[in-house]
């Protein structure tokens, strides 16, 4: 049985990677390729009473990319895409949080991929807070947004004989995060 709790004031939560996921999908030829990043960390400072005072920082190890195809993953780690030797992390750091109604927020911050930083706004849903069976306070958040990979220097592509290109420009990114309150 999971009990729900109410936070008072700002609390700091650390993302639990074993109960969280960072996934993406992008068009490849006719269908979509889906993948994930398996190594990431994050800190969420959440103030339920004044959510605009909250903040979030996420850091993702670029080399942890996994699409289920070893050769493709090696290519994605290369200079054609993420250049993981030069740019080992992808990151997001919030700058502003605005309520958007019904436990939803517009979180504006800096997304850095391959050394290129862009200010973006992403919709974030707070799924709730709970106490796990071991007495640990947890917070759940989700977001889904799309970025244009070319804006971050991920330019590689191949022209198709029938016209168009092999890889789409738009990448849908989804994060489902469960974080534990610091003691």
Determine if the pTM surpasses 0.85: yes
19-42 pLDDT per residue, tens: 999 999 998 887 899 999 999 999
User: For the residues of 65-123, what is the DSSP string, one character each?
Assistant: EE-S-HHHHHHHHSTTTT-TTT--EEEEEEEEEEEEETTEEEEEEEEEETTEEEEEEEE
**154, 145, 14, 33 alpha-carbon torsion, rounded to 10°:** -60
Give domain status of residue 2, yes or no.
no
Q: Is residue 4 part of a domain?
A: no
CATH number at residue 26: 2.40.128.110
> What's the number of domains the chain is made of?
1
- Whether residue 94 is contained in a domain is answered as yes
pLDDT attached to residue 1: 39
- Determine the structural domain holding residue 65 and report its residue range: 10-181
pLDDT band per the 50, 70, 90 thresholds, residue 8: low
What span, in angstroms and rounded, lies between the C-alpha atoms of 118 and 121?
10
């Amino acid at each position: 049985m999971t009990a729900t709790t109410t936070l008072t004031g700002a609390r700091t939560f650390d993302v639990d990677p074993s109960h969280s996921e960072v996934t993406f999908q992008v068009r490849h030829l006719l269908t979509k390729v889906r993948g994930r990043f398996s190594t990431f960390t994050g800190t969420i400072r959440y103030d339920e009473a004044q959510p605009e005072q909250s903040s979030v920082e996420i850091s993702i190890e670029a080399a942890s990319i996994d699409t289920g195809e070893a050769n493709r993953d090696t290519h994605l780690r290369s200079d054609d895409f993420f250049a993981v030797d030069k740019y080992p992390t992808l990151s997001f750091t919030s700058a502003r949080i605005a309520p958007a109604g019904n436990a939803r927020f517009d979180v504006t911050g800096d997304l850095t991929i391959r050394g290129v930083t862009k200010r973006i706004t992403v919709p974030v849903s707070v799924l709730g807070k709970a106490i796990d069976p071991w007495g640990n306070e947890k917070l759940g958040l989700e977001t889904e947004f799309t970025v244009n990979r070319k804006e971050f220097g991920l330019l590689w592509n191949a022209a198709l004989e029938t016209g168009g290109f092999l890889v789409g420009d738009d990448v849908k990114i989804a994060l489902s995060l469960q974080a534990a309150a610091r003691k």
